[in-house]
């Protein structure tokens, strides 16, 4: 089952899926364990992904991207994540949390200056909303931007920035009018070279260890008003609508992890013998595999459905928050279910670092947390369905 029957896949989609699969299996899978162990950032393979057009798949070619659609994006991302979820989140953040925001809300000058280098993969992009005291409650920011002539002065600390230590450019959300709460939030495009900007504490992590995550700090950092993304006070809506796209990326990441964990389990169940039988002949294993496969395919359909909703929004302008949150919620919880079952099916060797199965289990957990926890997805879905708050 591939979704081919329900979704408008073209030859171009098959080509990008195959190119991503070949690249991921040849270049990423062999180094994934080593980079997971060291926690080093995989510059070389990320640069190669840029050359292949994977870092700005939906960005028009005139701005350095591949000029393809959202289905192409999720197909390629799924293959990268099957090989390594850490490479996957670097790609997802670059494409969705950085490029999409500038494509949708940036001025022509900003697109020329910031979108082109990041979409072409020559530079890495990041997105910084979260703060030590503002995670799920993203409207309660304390990082401040104060207007000063033609500039703003930024002060504060942001946390959990994926690619924070390596990004050349970051979209940062700040408070310009605290009394207005969410309506006082303003977004800026920051270059790492700005005086007063620095990278703070690195986060040692359970999973996706090859992706670099850190705090970023602003100390009297002077940012030209020309770097403001959108108008003053529009930042919260920009942050939320960009996160809708990010959530499709995380749902796809979880789908890739699920696929890898399921395939490893299926192969193992057909080879490993116990009590004079293949373990896949025992119902305790075969029914697990049936449940894993069923949820895997349901995740895939929800991810493709969300991708189609986003694609339609390019012409209708309609929000796709519901489809994105449903896909993220189901796909991330499924990746925990499948990777947990995969370790159990493999037994001792599943717990060992000799196989990637334990890594799938560790990597899956973050998909239920970042870019909106499962609880936040349930909140978004239920609010949209009931209209109540
Ligand atoms: N698109 C456009 N506008 C949106 C929107 C969306 N998806 N969601 C909300 N808005 C608008 C609302 O319409 C509302 O506008 P009006 O005032 O004009 O009516 C405004 O934004 C405020 O919305 P809410 O009242 O719903 O806001 P809230 O304070 O109740 O928060 C929330 C809603 C869903 C809880 C939101 O805060 C949220 O999503 N929190 C989770 C944040 C998150 O995902 N953080 C992860 C950050 S990234 C990361 O993990 C690190 C990384 O690098 C990967």
The residue extents of the domains of the chain are 11-123, 126-233, 236-386
Q: What is the pLDDT of residue 3?
A: 58
Distance of CA 142 to the CA centre of its chain: 25
pLDDT higher than threshold 80 for residue 89: yes
Q: Which residues lie below 8 Å from residue 105, measured CB to CB, with a gap of 6+?
A: 187, 229, 230, 234, 238
Q: Is the CB of 182 under 6 A from ligand 1?
A: yes
- Whether the per-residue pLDDT at 386 is higher than 90: the answer is yes
Write the CB contacts of 171 (distance below 8 Å, at least 6 apart in sequence): 97, 98, 101, 102, 125, 126, 127, 128, 187, 188, 189, 190, 229, 242
CB 255 within 8 A of CB 338: no
For residues 110-124, average pLDDT: 97
Output the CA 321–ligand 1 centroid distance in Å.
10
Bridge pairing between strands 125-128 and 169-175 = parallel
Domain 126-233 class in CATH? mainly beta
Q: Establish whether residue 115 lines the binding site of ligand 1, counting it when its CB lies within 6 angstroms of any ligand atom.
A: no
Beta carbons of 111 and 103 less than 8 angstroms apart: yes
Question: What pLDDT shows up at residue 68?
Answer: 98
Q: What is the DSSP letter of 226?
A: G
pLDDT above 90 for 2: no
Question: Average pLDDT for residues 337-347, to the nearest whole number?
Answer: 98
Q: Which CATH number fits domain 236-386: 1.10.260.40, 1.10.1060.10, 3.40.50.12280, 1.20.140.10?
A: 1.20.140.10
8 Å CB contact between 136 and 285: no
The residue whose CA is least distant from atom 13 of ligand 1 is: 237
233 near 249, Cβ under 8 Å? no
Q: By alpha-carbon position, which residue is closest to atom 22 of ligand 1?
A: 182
* Spatial contact of 248 and 213, defined as CB atoms under 8 Å apart: no
202 vs 165, 206, 265, 317, CA distance in Å? 8, 13, 34, 38
Tokens of 377: 């997805």
Q: What is the mean pLDDT of residues 371-380?
A: 98
Q: Domain 11-123, what architecture?
A: Orthogonal Bundle (1.10)
127 Cβ inside 6 Å of ligand 1: yes
Cβ of 166 below 6 Å from ligand 1:
no
Lowest mean pLDDT, pick from 1-15, 64-78, 203-217: 1-15
Q: Confidence class of residue 1 from pLDDT cuts 50, 70 and 90?
A: low
Outline where 203-320 has alpha helix (H): 235-271, 283-316
Question: What pLDDT does 267 receive?
Answer: 98
Average pLDDT over residues 2-16: 85
Q: Are 285 and 345 in contact (CB under 8 A)?
A: yes
Sign, CA dihedral 129-230-123-149, equals: negative
Distance 332 CA to ligand 1 centre (A): 19
Kindly report the protein residue whose alpha carbon is nearest to atom 46 of ligand 1.
Answer: 371
As a whole number of angstroms, the distance between CA 183 and CA 194 comes to: 26
- Among 272, 257, 258, residue whose Cα is nearest residue 345: 272
| Average pLDDT of the chain to the nearest whole number | 97
Ligand 1 centre distance from Cα of residue 244 (Å):
9
Residue nearest to atom 3 of ligand 1 (CA): 237
pLDDT number for residue 6: 82
Q: From CA 119, how far away is CA 32, in angstroms rounded?
A: 24
Mutational pocket test of ligand 1: of 89, 98, 237, 382, the residue with most ligand atoms within 8 Å of the beta carbon: 237
Mean per-residue pLDDT, 186-199: 98
Which DSSP symbol is given to 134? B
Three-class secondary structure of residue 373 per DSSP = coil
Residue 181, pLDDT above cutoff 90 = yes
C-alpha closest to that of 220 among 130, 142, 148: 148
Nearest CA to ligand 1 atom 20: 237
CB atoms < 10 A from the CB of 111, how many? 19
Does the beta carbon of 130 sit less than 6 angstroms from any atom of ligand 1? Answer: yes
Least confident of 6-15, 152-161, 210-219, 317-326: 6-15
Q: Is the pLDDT of residue 149 over 60?
A: yes
Kindly report the number of other CB atoms within 10 A of residue 313's CB atom: 17
139 within ligand 1 shell (Cβ under 6 A): yes
238 CA to middle of ligand 1, Å? 9
Residue where the block lists tokens 């992009």: 125
Report how many helices (DSSP H) and strands (DSSP E) the chain contains, helices first. Answer: 14, 10
Token code pair at residue 295: 């949820």
- pLDDT, average across residues 365-379: 98
CA 83, CA 260: separation in Å to the nearest integer?
A: 7
**What integer is the mean pLDDT of 142-154?**
98
Active-site residues, by number, are: 371
Q: Which two tokens mark 317?
A: 């302008």
**pLDDT of 218-270, one tens digit each?**
999 999 999 999 999 999 999 999 999 999 999 999 999 999 999 999 999 99
């Amino acid at each position: 089952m591939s979704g081919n029957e329900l979704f408008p896949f073209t030859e171009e989609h098959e080509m990008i899926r195959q190119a991503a699969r070949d690249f991921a299996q040849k270049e990423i899978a062999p180094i994934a364990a080593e980079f997971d162990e060291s926690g080093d950032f995989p510059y070389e393979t990320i640069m190669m992904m840029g050359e292949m057009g994977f870092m700005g798949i939906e960005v028009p070619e005139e701005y350095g991207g591949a000029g393809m659609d959202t289905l192409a994006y999720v197909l390629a991302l799924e293959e990268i994540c099957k090989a390594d979820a850490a490479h996957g989140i670097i790609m997802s953040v670059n494409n969705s949390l950085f490029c999409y925001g500038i494509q949708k809300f940036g001025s022509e000058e900003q697109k020329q200056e910031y979108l082109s280098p990041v979409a072409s993969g020559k530079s890495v992009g990041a997105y910084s909303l979260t703060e030590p005291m503002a995670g799920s409650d993203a409207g309660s920011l304390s990082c401040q931007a104060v207007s000063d002539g033609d500039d703003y002065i930024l002060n504060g600390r942001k946390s959990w920035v994926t690619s924070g230590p390596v990004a050349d450019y970051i979209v940062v959300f700040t408070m310009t009018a605290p009394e207005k709460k969410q309506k006082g939030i303003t977004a800026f495009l920051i270059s790492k070279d700005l005086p007063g900007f620095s990278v703070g504490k690195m986060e040692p992590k359970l999973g996706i260890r090859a992706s670099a995550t850190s705090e970023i700090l602003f100390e009297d950092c002077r940012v030209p008003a020309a770097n403001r993304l959108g108008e003053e006070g529009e930042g919260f809506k920009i942050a939320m609508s960009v996160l809708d796209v990010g959530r499709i990326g995380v749902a796809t990441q979880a789908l890739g992890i699920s696929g890898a964990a399921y395939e490893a389990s299926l192969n193992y169940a057909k080879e490993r013998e116990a009590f004079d039988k293949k373990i896949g002949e025992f119902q305790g294993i075969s029914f697990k595999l049936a449940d894993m496969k069923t949820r895997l395919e349901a995740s895939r359909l929800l991810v493709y459905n969300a991708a189609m909703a986003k694609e339609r929004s390019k012409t209708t302008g309609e929000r796709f928050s519901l489809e994105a949150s449903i896909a993220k919620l189901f796909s991330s919880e499924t990746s925990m279910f499948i990777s947990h079952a995969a370790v159990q099916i493999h037994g001792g060797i599943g717990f060992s670092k000799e196989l990637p199965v334990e890594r799938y289990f560790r990597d899956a957990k973050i998909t239920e947390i970042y870019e909106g926890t499962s609880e936040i997805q349930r909140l978004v879905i239920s609010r949209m369905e009931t209209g109540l708050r």
